[in-house]
Homo-oligomer: A and B are copies of this chain.
Amino acid sequence: MGIPKPTAERLSQLARLLEQRGKPGTPISSAEIEHLTGWPSHTIRKDISALAAESDISTNSGYDPRTLAKAIKQALGFSIETNKCCIVGLGRLGSAFLEYSGFQSSPFLLCAGFDSNVNRIEILKADFPLFPTFKMKEVISRLAIRYAILCVPPAQAQATADKLIECGVTGIANFTPSILSVPSGIEVENVSIIDALGSLAARLAAKRSLQ
């Protein structure tokens, strides 16, 4: 019941791939997706079958990109509601997300930024308002924000996370190298460049060892 986590991750990336591929009219086969992504074609077919979508998704020469992308987004709940997010910590990393282009076709909406340095808030520009940290409680509850992108210095990570949770945030994308501890019911996703490089190295080492 429900879509397996690894499957959901692949499908989410597949939807992005379909959009960036262009040629929305010409069908795409599981073999072509294998070539583009490296995932075996049978895995892709299984993943797609988990969508339990209508049958007009595929033809005799592959999948229809538009229909498939739509089916994926629907199955993953991307269209049901837009989830509000805020950025916390507008240093180099945090402020980089102010102009990140990837949010458009996603179910997530950036709608606030916070930093304890009032000066920064006045200098930086964004499509949504920026606030000093002491207004966090008021803004997060007023806008009903449920997700936070945490980009503060490592030493402040845990304290800031605690505060966010108190304000009603239930999901934290943690760009800090700190490991956060949170009460049950709250989810954290660690987005660490070190972990990313680590798993690259591990996979390359695994390949090496089997000749």
Contact = CB atoms under 8 A, between A and B. Distances in A.
Interface of A: 2-3, 5, 8-9, 12-13, 16-17, 20, 35-38, 76-78, 83, 85, 91-93, 95-103, 106-108, 147, 149, 153-154, 170-173, 177-179, 181-182, 184-185, 187-207, 209
Contact of A12 (B91, B195, B206): B195
B195 A9 contact: yes
By CB atoms of chain B within 10 A, which of A106, A108, A178, A195 has the most?
A195
Contacts of A154: 20, 101-102
7 contacts: A16-B179, A38-B188, A92-B99, A147-B197, A173-B193, A173-B200, A189-B200
Contact of A199 (B9, B78, B185): B9
A205 B96 CA distance: 29
B194 A191 contact: no
A209 B96 contact: no
Given A83-B201, A192-B102, A179 B36 contact: yes
B13 A197 contact: no
A108 B178 contact: no
A98 B92 CA distance: 10
Contacts of A91: 96
Contact of A171 (B12, B171, B200): B200
Which 8 pairs across A and B sit closest by C-beta, in order of nearness? A102-B177, A92-B96, A171-B200, A93-B96, A17-B179, A36-B181, A173-B196, A189-B196
